[in-house]
Amino acid sequence: MLQLGKYTITGAILAPMAGYTDVAFRTLCKECGAGLTVTEMVSVRGLVHDSQKTEQLMRLSEIERPSCIQLFGNDPADFAAVAKTLDCDIIDINMGCPMPKIVNNGDGAALLNNPERAGQIVRAIKDVTDKPVTVKTRLGYNIDENQAAALIESVAAAGAAAVTVHGRYARQRYSGLSDGGEVLKLAKSSPIPLIANGDIGEVFPPDPHIAALMIGRRALENPHVFDDKPEDPFGTARRHIELLTQYFDERYTINQVRKFFVHYFRRVHGSKALRSAVNIAESVSTVLHAVDYCEMLNQ
C-alpha cells in the first residue's frame, strides 16, 4: 500500500508512456483496476509558453482520482510556475527519461547527474503547493554508476512523497532486463516509499520494502494485468475504441488503434489480416467490423 499525502493507493500503477497513455488508455486501465494512472511526460517549458499541444496531454478523466500529471524540465522556476496552475491531485517529475533530445537539455535522466538540482525542483514545487510530489528515475546514468541513492536522498529532503525506480541505467535505455535486486536495495535504504518499475512480473519478487509496483509495457499488451482477469483482446479493443472516440477525433482514434492492436492481438489467430485491415481503414466503423470478423474466426 502506498500513501501519497491524503491519498491511499492500492493496486499497481500504470507507468507513464509517451504516445500511449493518453486519457482514453488511462481510463481503460483504471477500469481494469489500476491503482493510479500517470499522464505521459509534459514539458514545463512548453506549459510556461502555453502550448495547446501540451494542454491536450494533460486532459484527465473523472475516474482518474487521484489524478497525476508527469512533468519534465530542469528549471525550478518553470516547475513552480506550472505547479501553481495544475488541476490535478499529484505531481510526478520525470528524472529518468534517457532520450537524447531530453537529456541533452538537462532534463529527464540528466538530473541523476545533478541531485542538488533535483532537490531544488521538488522544493520549488512544494513551496507553491500542498500536492504530493513524486519523482520517477532510474538506477543511475552510466551503467553500474548507482546515482539513484543520492538523488532519492536529495528529493526526499526537499519533500518528495515517494520515488519510482526503473531498474535500468539511462545508458541502457530499454536493453537487457530491469535489475530488481538493485531496486530492492534502494527500497531498503530509501527514506521515502519506493515504487518498483521495470519488467514487473518477470523479474520482480514481492517484498514488503516495496510500496507499490508500476507497470508499463505489459499493460499495453493487456490492461487486465491490473485486475488479473483473463486476457480479452476483443473486449479490450472495443472498450478502448469507445473511449478513444469519446475523447478524440476519428483520425487520432484510428492511429492509436493501429499502435495498440499490435500488442492486444499478438497471440490471436488472424491478427495479421486484422492489422492489415486496420492499417488501411479510414473509419472507426471499418475498424469495428474488422474486429468482429476476426472474433468470428476465433469462435
Ligand X SMILES: Cc1cc2nc3c(=O)[nH]c(=O)nc-3n(C[C@H](O)[C@H](O)[C@H](O)COP(=O)(O)O)c2cc1C
* Residues annotated catalytic, as ranges: 97
Binder among 97, 109, 135, 277 for ligand X (CB under 6 A): 97
Cis, peptide link before residue 208, omega less than 30° from 0: no
Residue, CB closest to ligand X: 216
Give the β-pairing of 194-197 and 133-140.
Answer: unpaired
State yes or no: residue 134 binds ligand X (CB under 6 A): no
* DSSP code, position 266: T
Binding mask 240-279 for ligand X (x = CB under 6 A): ----------------------------------------
State yes or no: residue 180 binds ligand X (CB under 6 A): no
- Tell me how many helices (H) and strands (E) the chain has: 13, 11
Length reported for the chain: 299
Binder among 197, 222, 253, 256 for ligand X (CB under 6 A): 197
State yes or no: residue 90 binds ligand X (CB under 6 A): no
Q: Provide Rg for the chain, Cα atoms.
A: 19
Binder among 35, 198, 223, 233 for ligand X (CB under 6 A): 198
**Given the rule CB under 6 A, which of 59-67, 121-129, 198-206, 274-282 is the region that contacts ligand X?**
198-206
Instruction: Report CA-CA distances (Å) from 129 to 82, 89, 147.
Output: 11, 10, 28
Query: Whose Cβ is closer to ligand X: residue 64's or residue 199's?
Result: 199
Q: Which residues share a beta bridge with 90?
A: 68
Please give the size of the binding site for ligand X, defined by CB under 6 A: 22
State yes or no: residue 171 binds ligand X (CB under 6 A): no
State yes or no: residue 217 binds ligand X (CB under 6 A): yes
For the chain, strand residue ranges (E) read: 2-4, 7-9, 13-14, 36-37, 42-43, 68-72, 90-95, 133-140, 162-169, 194-197, 210-215
State yes or no: residue 94 binds ligand X (CB under 6 A): yes
Sheet holding 210-215, edge to edge: 36-37, 13-14, 210-215, 194-197, 162-169, 133-140, 90-95, 68-72, 42-43
State yes or no: residue 200 binds ligand X (CB under 6 A): yes
Binder among 43, 70, 120, 222 for ligand X (CB under 6 A): 70
Q: What is the closest distance, in whole angstroms, from the C-beta atom of residue 76 to ligand X in the complex?
A: 19
Q: What is the closest distance, in whole angstroms, from the C-beta atom of residue 72 to ligand X in the complex?
A: 8
Beta-carbon contacts of residue 209 (< 8 Å; ≥ 6 apart) = 184, 187, 188, 194
Residue for cell digits 486484422? 274
Name which of residues 1 to 60 contact ligand X (CB under 6 A): 15-20, 40-41
* Contact residues for ligand X, defined by CB under 6 A: 15-20, 40-41, 70, 94, 96-97, 136, 166, 197-200, 215-218
